[in-house]
Structure formats: structure tokens, C-alpha cells
Amino acid sequence: MNLTNEEIKYEIFEKAHSLGANLVRCCSVAKWEEIPIQEPAFWPQNIWPWTKNVIVLGVPLYAPMIHTTPSMVYQELYDTSNRILDDMAYQLTNYITTKMGYRAIFFPRDCYYNIEVLLDNPNAAFSHVIAAYYAGMGSIGDSHNLITKEFGPRVRMVSILTDAPINPDDMLEKNLCIHCKKCLKNCPSQCFKENGTDIYSMDKVVCTQYHVHIKNEHHWPCGVCIDVCPVGEDLKMYRNMDVASKKGVSHCQHFGS
């Protein structure tokens, strides 16, 4: 039976949700050329020329756990979400290729070997943030993180590249970043600078150096910029109370790291 593009999209999205993805969106690779943010070497169609569309999966990071950063609590949350994303991406890629008959591969959630590698070359092989932005999952905030309606910047993503003929989602018209400057003011490394545009300039090397420092102290990643962001429906669950008490945060930071 021949499926329409919308039926193909529905089947893929339903499978992604069944695997545990909270957010699922897709975009055409044409977006990289229409709204260029990175150099052409980073465009998916220039890495795998048969790629037509990119499917982005997202899962949340839980605000009370992030609020303990830097701690093993947040580190394990980060690592767990990464494992889940790669597993979902592998299974969805396998489904698209073996059950639906289309080509597909996935870019792992972190496209670099380890944090130290970014000191010399502060760019991953593929940006899930940019893919998710093109797919309408959210907007890019001052902190260079993806800001989503559901979870603010507290979301991790992975991307599947495919030639499956699926209709792309619309990009968001509204900028979800409210420019509150909390990420700028609270960044431990002070890597953000105002530059008169909608997105701060970011010294990626300074940010990476701080991550290397706290990793060597056995508690990372940082995550302060996503912790302090007030955007996201997820925070409504903790309204009128602290996300985590100072005593609780201190406890998590003192033990296990």
C-alpha cells in the first residue's frame, strides 16, 4: 500500500512517541541553505547527500535535578537522557530502514569525543539545536540553547537524517526567549556578552574551559544557563515553591561528587 507523505510522517512520529520521545518535529534540509547559520560543511545534505529531511527527538531534563548543579544528580540526569536519546534514535532509524524501506542514519546526541576536544575545535559535527530550530521545536535563546514552550531550555535532543518523504513542520514565529538576562548574569564563566542582537555572543572556549575545570573536580556539566531560565511550562509544576531548597542543593553537591 502506498502511503501519502502525511501518512508516512504520522507513522514515524507515532513510532518516535512510542519509543519515549516527548517532542518530535521535522524539517527539510533546504532550511540550512534558506536560513544559513553554520558553514555549509555542517549542513546535513553536504555530509550525506541523499538526506532530504531531519527528524528531531527531544526529552526533558527535570528542573529540580538541574537545580543541584554542579552535582552527580545532574550529571546522571544528563548521562541518562543521552543514553535514552541514542537508544531511541537507533530504534527509530532501524524502523525507518528495515520496516519502511527508506534510508536513515542518526547523529548521536553529542557529536564530539569528549569535552576537552572542544578546547581546540569548539564545534560539534552536527547541531541538534539548529535542526530543532528549523523544525519548529523551539527558538534559539540568548544563551544559544533551544528554548521550547514545554520545557524551556531543559531539553536534550537527537536527530535522524532520512530520505523518507515527509512534510516538514513550520518554524516558530514567536521568539520564546524573553531576554531576561538571567543566563548572562548567572553564568559562572561569564562567556556571554551583549552585542545588540537577539542572541548574545558566546565565547565557546571559555565555556569549555569551565566545563573541563568542573569535570576535573568530578562534577559536571554546568547547566546554570538552563537552570535559571524562567521559560517553560514544566516550571508551573513547582510554582509558589522553590524548585529545590538551598539545603537540598548543598546536600546533593556535597555527597557523591
Give 149-183 pLDDT, tens digit per residue: 999 999 999 999 999 999 999 999 999 999 999 99
Nine-digit cell string for 81: 537522557
How far, rounded to the nearest angstrom, does the alpha carbon of residue 80 sit from its chain's CA centroid?
14
| In-domain check, residue 255 | no
| In-domain check, residue 161 | yes
Specify the number of domains making up the chain.
1
Q: What does 121-147 look like in DSSP terms, one character per residue?
A: S---SS-HHHHHHHTTS-EE-TTSSEE
Alpha-carbon distances of 118 from 66, 190, 208, rounded to whole Å: 23, 18, 7
What is the average pLDDT across 223-250? 85
Q: Write down the pLDDT at residue 190.
A: 92
Alpha-carbon distances of 147 from 83, 120, 151, 228, 253, rounded to whole Å: 22, 28, 8, 12, 26
Hey, which residues does 55 pair with through a beta bridge?
26, 160
| In-domain check, residue 256 | no
pTM of the model: 0.92
Contact 165, 138 (CB under 8 A): no
Name the residue range of residue 218's domain. Answer: 5-250
By CB atoms closer than 10 A (0-12, 13-18, 19+), residue 139 is buried
84 vs 1, more confident:
84
| In-domain check, residue 77 | yes
Q: Is the pLDDT of residue 214 over 90?
A: no
What would the pLDDT profile of 71-110 be if each residue is shown by its tens digit?
Answer: 889 999 999 999 999 999 999 999 999 999 999 999 998 8
Q: Write down the pLDDT at residue 240.
A: 53
